Structure 1
Amino acid sequence: MIKPFRIDIPQADLDDLTDRLSRTRWPNEITGAGWDYGFPLARLKELAEHWRTGYDWRAHETRLNELAHFTTEIDGQNIHFVHVRSPRPDALALVLTHGWPGSFLEFLDVIEPLSRDFHLVIPSIPGFGFSGPTHERGWDIVRVARAWAELMRRLGYERYGAHGGDFGSGISLALGAVAPAQVAGVHVNYLPTRPDPDAGLELSQTDEARLEKVRRLMANRPPYQALQATTPQTLGYALTDSPVGQLAWIAERFAQWTDPRSQIDDERMLTDISLYWLTATAASSARLAREAPRRVEPCPVPVGVAVFAHDITQSVRPLAERLYDIRHWSEFERGGHFAAMEVPELLAGDVRDFFLPHIEQEGPTSRVRRHTP
């Protein structure tokens, strides 16, 4: 059963947030430390004060409620999603999946351009926001993909595409694997490619530089990733009890993963962080990193890739082609990990270029594009 949903955070929860922010215990900081030891104190105090005194959740809540929100129970879990129908009668449906530390909010700026040509289904991953928390083991990306397949079936979509970034990329590819007869293609803006010494490939200098970046990341696993993949419950105690802790944990990712030329404004970032805080989903969202399988089934459907220059890593096409049926590959000089929020016009255009051929004929055409500012 699919039910309409309206965002309506209790005022007591907003008052509690304001009170907790006013009573923050701040650590000291080494003079001139900058980013050497983590998120700078002065910048975090600035964000926390704006969250406490200048940020208006109700205003953002009102705007979000202009969208059509729904919930349904799948596999024992409440699933929240936004559903936007296109005026185009032959529109292909697309399911858009966010990652961490994002949310369905990532796609707000691509709804208008994409809905001209596509029906849009934008779910919240189980354990995130209004789809959280989860209450049992096993919600990995394959199980989420199966839930998406059931959601699209309930909505009456027999054929659809999938797009995602971060965890949304893995979920979208897994959706192509679990429902290949329904998924027309998968478009991603994040596709990690690991070094493979047995591949026997001759790579360009650019690709070798990209792999060296991956090697450095593999040798020095980011602390946030290690904690969420090993002890998400322990981490959850701190982030669920301290709004400034939750603020620093997510704001650091936004600061480090975005293109400096396309900074996400504080209001949008605080809305995303507020969603995690107000739904108390710090621990359950982190569990996805613990549950993520080390191997997923191959994705047999056509794949499109958008590579953004300031993402955590950049994909290497010859390695990607060993795993996926790559039909479309674009390189952008602007944009980072949160492409839908940073450069929505570029991402929406690339998604359209990959999927629109499905309206005229089955199967995206093969193409490669490089973009400069």
Structure 2
Amino acid sequence: MRPTPFSLQVPEAAISDLKARLAGTRFPDQADAPAWAFGTDLGFMRALAGYWKDGFDWRAAEARLNTFSQFKLAIHGIDLHYLHVPGRGAAPLPLLLSHGWPGSVFEFMELIPRLTDPARFGGDPADAFTVVAPSLPGFGLSFQAGQPRFSVEQMADCFATLMTEVLGYPRFATQGGDWGASVSARLGFAHPDKTIGVHLNLLPLRRDTAQLGTSPAEQKYLGELRHWLAEETGYSHQQGTRPQTLAFALTDSPVGLAAWIVEKMRSWSDCAGDVESVFSKDELLTNISLYWFTGAIGSSFWPYYARQHATDWPIPDGCSVDVPMGYCEFPAEIVRPPRILAERSFSDIRRWSVMPRGGHFAAMEQPEDLAQEIRAFYRGLR
């Protein structure tokens, strides 16, 4: 297994094709109701599609990614894409940084420098990390048509091989949110000898209301969880049961793809209903464009299907992650289980922080706060 240096260069013909498709968009109508009442708002999408066609600069986004050292590697039956960014300090700690859905490695553009070169941002160089940030198998640049689909468990095994056998880090730190949190937790469970610690900004716990107890914290969470399951999980059921059907629509229509993703960026971020108060159009479209150009949206659904049909995801019943764990709870996160629940799955919680602002996309929304939390958690584990 020998990595090959990689630089992203989307063919000009693919950009021209995208613009032509945007020009020919057939928009739906919208019910007479407040904006966003039933999903992505028509007016917002008209404006976003217009900017995507006439104002968005994909080459600038591409160039920004290419400032980071990137590689491709044939591993576990796929070509895995990853960033490998050396830390600046006396002894940088290797850190595996995992994104989620509907995200990509573009989420980490502001976070990675704060981890690899903390002194540049007023931090201590002793807290530096060498960051390895893969595109999850089946996502973005880790996707080719017809390749095997990966579950969270398979992703964790793949990343353990990458870090230890390929890159030569016998033990490494982990961090993640969304699916990245599940991958990180699974690494701590399945590969504890390789995992220094697990830092999360989402708790990957089963969303089973029957398992909740009668404590005030659990009962409060029960109400929040019931609302989430009733009103916010339609996407998950579709992606987890009929991913192929949905893939036809979102692979063929750029505006359909954008509407599917933007609705989640708005709903799950700390934006008080105004998605552009947190993410610029350029940030939104950079991530969406990567899904479009790679054609990876259908395969990115696979972890949902694997979870829907698993019985022991991501940690088997009666088992726990026993390596040190740290967690930071952002106030607009999609679900916020109480510590009493987390302690049933993580036996060695070393840090539990409640953050003042931010949501599901913490690496983009609050990169400085997240970086400080990651550095603080691992400071005692070096």
TM-score by length of 1: 0.92
| Paired position in structure 2 for 1:312 | 334
Q: Give the aligned partner of residue 282 of structure 1.
A: 297
Q: Which moved more, 1:210-219 or 1:78-87?
A: 210-219
Retained in 2: the 8 A contact 1:73–1:79?
yes
CA contact (8 A) 1:70 1:81 kept: yes
Alignment of 1:57-96 (within 5 A): 57-96=58-97
**What secondary structure sits across from 1:358 in the alignment?**
coil
For the pair 1:169 / 2:191, whether they are aligned, the reply is no
Task: Provide the residue aligned with 1:346 in structure 2.
Answer: 369
1:149-188 deviations in Å (ceiling 9; x for gaps) = 0110111111111000000000011111221111000000
**Equivalents in 2 of 1:315, 1:63: separation in Å?**
36
**CA distance 1:221–1:268, change in 2 (3 Å):** closer
Residues 4 and 197 (structure 1), Cα distance of their counterparts in 2 relative to 1, 3 Å cut: same
The alpha-carbon deviation at position 197 of structure 1 amounts to 5.7
- Distance apart, 1:277 and its partner CA: 0.2
Q: Return the alpha-carbon distance in structure 2 between the equivalents of residues 67 and 11 of structure 1.
A: 22
Question: Which protein has the bigger strand share?
Answer: 1
Q: Which residue of 2 aligns with 1:30?
A: 31
Aligned to 2:223: 212
In 2, Cα distance between equivalents of 1:198 and 1:232 = 28
- Kindly provide the CA deviation profile for residues 249-293 of structure 1, in whole angstroms up to 9, marking residues without a partner as x: 001111111101661111111000000000001101012210233
Q: Counterpart of 2:291 in structure 1: which amino acid?
A: Y
1:2 aligns with 2:3: yes
Matched, 1:356 2:368: no
Task: Quote the Cα distance in structure 2 between the aligned partners of 1:307 and 1:118.
Answer: 22
Q: Any idea what the Cα deviations from partners look like across 1:109-164, whole Å, max 9, x if unmatched?
A: 11111103101000000110000146355510010000000110111111111000
| d(CA) in 2 for partners of 1:201, 1:210 | 11
State whether residues 182 and 204 of structure 2, in contact with CA within 8 Å, keep that contact through their aligned partners in structure 1.
no
Q: How does 1:318-337 map to 2 (within 5 A)?
A: 318-324=340-346, 325-337=348-360
Task: Output the amino acid matched with 1:280.
Answer: G
| Structure 1 residue identity aligned to 2:349 | I
Instruction: Give the distance between the partners of 2:95 and 2:145, measured in 1 at CA.
Output: 25
Contact 2:269 2:360 (C-alpha < 8 Å) held by counterparts: yes
Give the 3 Å change call, closer, same or farther, for CA 49–134 of structure 1 in structure 2.
same
User: Which of 147, 157, 168 matches 1:156?
Assistant: 168
Q: Who is 2:190 aligned against?
A: 178
Q: Secondary structure at the match of 1:181?
A: coil
- Of 71-80 and 208-217, more deviation after overlay is shown by 208-217
Q: Percent of aligned pairs with the same residue?
A: 40
Distance 1:13 1:198, change over 3 A: closer
After superposition, the C-alpha distances for 1:275-320 in whole angstroms (9 at most, x for unaligned) are 0000001101012210233423332211111101001111210110
The answer to whether structure 1 residue 223 and structure 2 residue 234 are counterparts is: yes
Could you say what secondary structure the match of 1:335 adopts? coil
Distance 2:301 2:210 in 1: 32
* 2:216 equivalent in structure 1: 203
Q: CA deviation at 1:18?
A: 0.2
Letter in 1 for 2:183: I
Contact 1:81 1:123 in 2 (8 A): yes
Q: Output the amino acid matched with 1:322.
A: R
Is the Cα contact below 8 Å between 1:77 and 1:134 reproduced in 2? Answer: no
Task: String of CA shifts for 1:44-63, please: whole Å, max 9, x gaps.
Answer: 00000000000010111112
Find the partner of 1:141 among 135, 140, 152: 152
After TM superposition, give the deviation of residue 211 of structure 1 in Å: 2.6
Contact residue 22 and residue 49 of structure 2 kept, 8 A: yes
Does the 8 Å CA contact 2:116/2:131 hold for their aligned counterparts?
yes
CA contact (8 A) 1:192 1:315 kept: no
Gaps of 5+ in 1: 360-373
CA gap of 1:254–1:199, structure 2 versus 1, over 3 A, is: closer
Partner of 1:260: 271
Q: Distance in 2 between matches of 1:213 and 1:121?
A: 34
Instruction: Please say if 1:301 is aligned against 2:323.
Output: yes
Q: Deviations over 1:220-263 (max 9, x none)?
A: 46221111001111000000000000010001111111101661
Deviation, 1:32, is 3.7
CA–CA separation in structure 2 for the residues paired with 1:257 and 1:17:
27
Distance 1:213 1:196, change over 3 A: closer
2-side partners of 1:280 and 1:327: how far apart? 40
Which of 136, 140, 146 aligns to 1:129? It is 140
2:40 matched residue in structure 1: 39
**Counterpart residue identity of residue 185, structure 1:** G
Q: The residue matched to 1:334 in structure 2 has which SS?
A: coil
For 1:199 and 1:214, how far apart are their aligned partners in 2?
10
TM-superposition CA deviations, 1:31-86 (whole Å, max 9, x none): 34422222110000000000000001011111211110101011111100001111
**RMSD of aligned C-alpha atoms?**
1.7
Q: Distance in 2 between matches of 1:44 and 1:103?
A: 21
Task: Flag the 1:101–1:358 CA change in 2: closer, same or farther, 3 A.
Answer: same
Relative to structure 1, the CA distance from residue 213 to residue 200 in structure 2 (aligned partners, 3 Å threshold; closer, same or farther) is closer
